Amino acid sequence: MSSSRIRMTLDEEYVTHSWNLLKRAIQAIQHKNNPGLGFEELYRAVYTMVQHKHGDRLYNGLRELIREHLEVVRVRIIESMNSGVFLETMAEAWSDHTVAMVNIREYMMYMDRVYVAQNPSALHVYDLGLELFRTEILKNNGIGDRLIFIRDRQLDLIKSYRKSDEINWHGMKSLCEMLISLGIDNRFVYEEYFEKALLKGTHEYYREFCETLLAGENDACYYLEQVETAIRDEANRASRYLDKETEVKILQVVANVMVADHMSTIVYMPNGGVKFMLQHKRVEDLTRIFRIFKHITESQGVPVSGRKVLLKAVGE
């Protein structure tokens, strides 16, 4: 046997040994156990495989280990779908997965830095974990559809009660955080699975709410108090489970629907409209209007026209 063939055999044996060490460590981490070896030894195993041109084997092997583990996790999630603990099971699975991926990433730093950098189609270790969770969990066996069903139930509770303690705020927060993370570098997954439906439901709720208020004998002062209360309540709710970007959008929806879309009515309400406030120097009520205005967006020119109506009233 030639020396080159012997060298190749030894190289293959050493690489196989290195991979087996890493495989056992990764599986231990996925099961929340100690990897059994020190950081330096596992890092050296990764370094050896990448340096000996076995980066593909390492990357694909890691991908397969994550996929196989998520298959097991998926079974547990499917079993929870009709047991009333679906959100809690999803949250636990997501938390365990992200913690494991953070730990695995530490040992795979050299692969991230060298192999992934040289292969544009390869994902960084943590992002690979996110991508596989999305494909193996969210898009399999009706789990995504079940997530939408649970979301709709929670949104119905928000619509019906708005302040209900029946809502699983912790579960909703975990759900939102998971969906945002699964977008990796954008908010598409979160927007499609949650945010769009939330904003639509909020718009419909407050459209009906303000129509009821305006149909009664309430004056603008009372109406604007209700608007500010609604904005404050939505902000308090949002702080419990939404990220800041969605919170801003929620408050914009409330202000747009309740004020911008009804500015002329509010300004010219008899015995209590904005004109009445100006004539009677109702400073507190006028200040409230401008506090509300900061939440109004300028999409489609609606708030701009509202400001024109307000300024016209000031000049009359």
Going residue by residue through the chain, which has 316 residues, state the pLDDT in tens, using 9 for 90 and above.
444 444 445 477 888 889 999 999 999 999 999 988 889 999 999 998 999 889 999 999 999 999 999 999 999 999 998 888 888 899 899 999 999 999 999 999 999 999 999 999 999 999 999 999 999 999 888 899 988 888 888 788 777 766 555 667 777 788 888 889 988 778 988 998 899 999 999 999 899 888 888 877 777 778 888 888 888 888 888 888 888 899 999 999 988 898 888 777 777 776 666 667 777 777 787 788 778 777 776 543 444 444 555 555 455 5
Residues 49 and 125 in one domain: yes
Q: Which two tokens stand for residue 116?
A: 């992934």
CATH number, domain at 243? 1.20.1310.10
Q: Model pTM?
A: 0.74
C-alpha count within 13 angstroms, C-beta hemisphere, residue 96: 20
- The last residue of one of the domains, among 141, 167, 182, is 141
Distance CA 201, CA 53 (A): 54
Residue with tokens 């939330």: 198
- Do 11 and 80 fall within a single domain? yes
Contact 295, 251 (CB under 8 A): yes
In a domain, 152, yes or no: no
Residue 63 phi/psi, 5-degree rounding, is -60, -45
Query: Where is the domain boundary, 141, 161, 184?
Result: 141
Residue 64: inside a domain: yes
Range of the domain at 69: 3-141
Residue length, the chain? 316
Is the domain of 132 the same as that of 207?
no
Is the domain of 106 the same as that of 231?
A: no
Tell me: do 135 and 8 sit in the same domain.
yes
Contact call for residues 227 and 292 (beta carbons, < 8 A): yes
Domain identity same for 128 and 222: no
**Which of 281, 263, 199 shows the shortest CA–CA distance to 227?**
263
List the structure tokens of 277: 């406030």
**CB of 250 closer than 8 Å to CB of 238:** yes
Both 230 and 300 in one domain: the answer is: yes
Say yes or no: 126 and 27 in one domain. yes
Same structural domain, 22 and 108:
yes
List, as own/partner pairs, every contact residues 231-235 make where C-beta atoms lie below 8 angstroms and the sequence separation is at least 24, other chains included: 231/255, 231/292, 231/295, 233/162, 233/163, 234/202
Q: Which of 141, 158, 189 is the last residue of a domain?
A: 141
User: Do the domain assignments include residue 43?
Assistant: yes
Residues 41 and 114 in one domain: yes
5: left (phi over 0), alpha (psi -120 to 50) or beta: alpha
Question: Per the domain annotation, does 153 fall within a domain?
Answer: no
Report the SS3 class of residue 272: coil
Q: How many domains does the chain have?
A: 2
Same domain flag for 122 and 201: no
